[in-house]
Amino acid sequence: MDVVIKKIKFTTINKTYTELVRDWRGRHCFATQYANPDGKRIFLTYYFVRKGYTISKVFARSGEFLYYYCDVMEMHQVGRLRYVMIDLLFDLIIDPDGHYHLIDVDEFADSVEKGQIKRRQQVHALRTLDQMIRLQTERKLIPSFIHEAKMYPLPD
């Protein structure tokens, strides 16, 4: 089954694409897999629609696990297997040992300064980020089914 995602990122992206669902855990949690534009990394991305974030398990093309990449998002289901996802710019990179790095705070600040992010989105982003950091501090952000997930075979 395919899912249609319209992704909006204030700094770079505004596109709609169709992705094959790789893991279906209901309409509020599903995964797709895609290659990063550099072609060197593969992202198995789980969309947690109600929680407001994604968790990507990032692999080398060989299938070796590299790290987790987590995006703060505002997500809405707008039809059957159709979603709008607004990237609210904060990202966490989580190393295999569990340490995390917060990135793109400067992009968030720039977007706030330019008036691109509405006040309710700012509040949502900050509260979601706080929750994600609290969960990761307790080693509870990444569910076991993502820890155990493997990269799907790449097309030839």
Residue 69's CATH number: 2.40.380.10
DSSP 92-119: EEE-TTS-EEEE-HHHHHHHHHTT-S-H
Count of domains in the chain? 1
pLDDT value for 149: 97
Q: Which residue(s) pair with 84 in the sheet?
A: 6, 76
- Judged against a pLDDT cut of 90, whether residue 134 lies above it is answered with yes
Q: pLDDT, tens digit, for every residue of 23-82?
A: 999 889 999 999 998 889 999 999 999 999 999 999 999 999 999 999 999 999 999 999
Q: What is the mean pLDDT of residues 91-108?
A: 96
State which residues form the domain around 30.
Answer: 2-147
- Higher-confidence residue of 93 and 16: namely 93
**CA 48, CA 29: separation in Å to the nearest integer?**
5
82 within some domain: yes
- Judged against a pLDDT cut of 80, whether residue 156 lies above it is answered with no
Q: Is the dihedral of CA 103, 109, 111, 116 positive or negative?
A: positive
Give Cβ neighbours of residue 64 (< 8 Å, ≥ 6 apart). Answer: none
